[in-house]
């Protein structure tokens, strides 16, 4: 669990249950613990230590320009805006730089965070010599930014509370059908990829992601058909596409001991890598 997510005291049992659920979901999406290290961020304290060091080299102006901070802060008031929210990009930079990361696969909305990590690494390297790898963002050519079903001008987000805004990976079939059938479109009828029509365009992108078909193939498939036919097809495609993930999730959550073991093993393997990088940083700045 990210450190910035701890905003109020929480029951340790609840936190552990949430950690297991998230871990199970990540594994269900296809992450292989034999190839990727999966662990709880706070179990490797070098993340927060490096973030504090980076704070000493990141100008305030860089963080003040972060779009996600400005958007979230605008929804909050006064003392409700925490330092953790403001400083979270520094922790993200530490997450990336601590492991000499070359490439970071992200959605389009996270590009600014990777750029900040890159700028921070460059600034540190200029001051103390080559230390950090400069990371590059890797953004998918299709589906880099999925918009809300109820508002196609706003990015789909799990933090939005509107019931029909987003499709959750664990939503049951009936819920998925309901959300998609109620998705915002427009007064036109043709099912085509037209960015000027954000509602239907967003739904078509989702369909393209799940089917792997080209834009031309999809438009030909729904030529002469209306939004109702397309939405029904999209709903069933999403349901079937998520079914294997949901089944794997149930399997993983039924075995909490294995989840705990995977997380512990991941942290045990990540910790020496993080310690080595942090020791190098300490030496460069005169702390070691």
In the three-class reduction of DSSP (H, G, I as helix; E, B as strand; rest coil), residue 127 is classed as helix
CB 278 within 8 A of CB 49: yes
CA separation (Å) from 28 to 20, 139, 243, 248, 253?
Answer: 12, 22, 11, 5, 10
The strand pairing partners of 231, in sequence order, are none
Side-chain-side CA neighbours of residue 247 (13 Å): 6
Q: At which residue do the structure tokens 């109020």 appear? A: 8
> Quick one: which of 255, 250, 271, 245 has its CA closest to 40?
271
Question: What does DSSP assign to residue 30?
Answer: T
Q: What is the four-CA torsion angle of 269, 274, 279, 280, rounded to 10 degrees? A: 120
Give the Cα separation of 133 and 113 in Å (integer).
15
Give the Cα separation of 91 and 102 in Å (integer).
17
Residues recognised as catalytic: 72, 155, 158
Burial of 9 (0-12, 13-18, 19+ CB in 10 A): exposed
CA separation (Å) from 137 to 50, 69, 96, 113, 238?
Answer: 21, 20, 11, 9, 27
Find the distance separating the first CA and the last CA of the chain, reported in whole Å.
Answer: 29
The strand pairing partners of 138, in sequence order, are 105
């Amino acid at each position: 669990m990210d450190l910035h997510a701890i905003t109020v005291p929480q029951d340790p049992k609840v936190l552990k249950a949430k950690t297991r659920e998230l871990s199970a979901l990540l594994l269900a999406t296809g992450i292989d613990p034999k190839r990727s290290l999966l662990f709880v961020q706070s179990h490797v304290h070098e993340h927060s230590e490096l973030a504090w060091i980076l704070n000493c080299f990141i100008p305030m102006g860089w963080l003040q320009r972060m779009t996600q901070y400005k958007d979230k802060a605008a929804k909050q008031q006064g003392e409700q805006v925490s330092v953790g929210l403001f400083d979270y990009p520094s922790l993200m930079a530490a997450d990336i730089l601590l492991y000499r990361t070359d490439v970071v696969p992200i959605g389009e909305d996270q590009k600014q965070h990777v750029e900040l990590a890159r700028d921070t690494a460059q600034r540190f390297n200029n001051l103390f010599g080559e230390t950090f790898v400069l990371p590059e963002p890797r953004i998918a050519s299709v589906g880099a930014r999925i918009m809300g079903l109820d508002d196609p001008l706003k990015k789909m987000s799990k933090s939005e509370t509107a019931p029909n805004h987003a499709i959750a990976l664990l939503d049951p079939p009936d819920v998925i059908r309901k959300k998609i059938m109620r998705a915002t479109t427009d007064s036109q009828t043709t099912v085509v990829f037209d960015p000027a029509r954000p509602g239907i365009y967003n739904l078509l992108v989702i369909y393209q992601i799940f089917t792997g078909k080209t834009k031309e193939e999809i438009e030909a498939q729904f030529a002469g058909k209306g939004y109702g036919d397309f939405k029904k097809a999209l709903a069933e495609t999403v349901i079937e596409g998520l079914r294997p993930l949901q089944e794997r999730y149930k399997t993983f959550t039924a075995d909490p001991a294995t989840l705990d073991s995977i997380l512990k093993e991941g942290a045990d393997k990540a910790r020496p890598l993080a310690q080595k990088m942090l020791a190098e940083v300490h030496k460069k700045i005169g702390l070691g």
